[in-house]
Amino acid sequence: MNRLLSRLKRFFVSRYHAFGYAFRGWWYVVRTQKNAWIHSVATALVLLLAAWLRLPARDWAVLLLAIALVWTAEFINTALEAVVDLASPGRNPLAARGKDVGAAAVLIAALISVITGLLILGPPLWARLFPSP
């Protein structure tokens, strides 16, 4: 029994530390990446607008997935940039290419999220702002 309790304790302590590392990474991205501030403002505006429009759960799910896609791309891009800088501190065309491709992934995610947001938020927003007589 003591062995089982010891294993459970180690498991939960390691999960606690893993969450700490994840939040430290999250804070690093928000603190150091200018685009993360744009994503933060866009996220807040979309969530507030969705709440104001009282969107159904399915629309919320799609919006949350789009938001998560952009944030995930930004986090992976930031990690990629850090690893590239570590591996290639000087100027290198391959390092630049890797960073450019990472940035392109964020751009694609952001553009698709904007289109998704317009498709979901546009019609109810239009109906709210310009009601039919």
Identified catalytic residue from 74, 84, 106, 117: 74
Q: Is 74 designated active site?
A: yes
Domain ranges for the chain, please list them.
1-32, 34-129
Each residue's pLDDT tens digit, 39-83: 999 999 999 999 999 999 999 999 999 999 999 999 999 999 999
**Predicted pLDDT of residue 72:** 98
Angle at 46 between CA 45 and CA 49, to 5 degrees: 85
Q: Which fold has domain 34-129?
A: Helix Hairpins (1.10.287)
Each residue's pLDDT tens digit, 95-123: 999 999 999 999 999 999 999 999 999 99
Q: Is the pTM of this model over 0.85?
A: yes
Higher pLDDT, 132 or 86: 86
The H-assigned helical ranges of 1-133 are 2-32, 34-53, 57-87, 93-129
Which residues touch 59 (CB under 8 Å, ≥6 apart)? 50, 120
CA separation for the pair 99, 96 (Å, rounded): 5
Q: For residue 130, give the DSSP letter.
A: S
Classify 58 as helix, strand or coil: helix
Provide the sign of the torsion angle of the four alpha carbons 82, 100, 45, 124, taken in this order.
negative
Maximum separation of any 2 CA atoms in the chain, in Å = 72
Look-up: residue for tokens 């927003």? 125
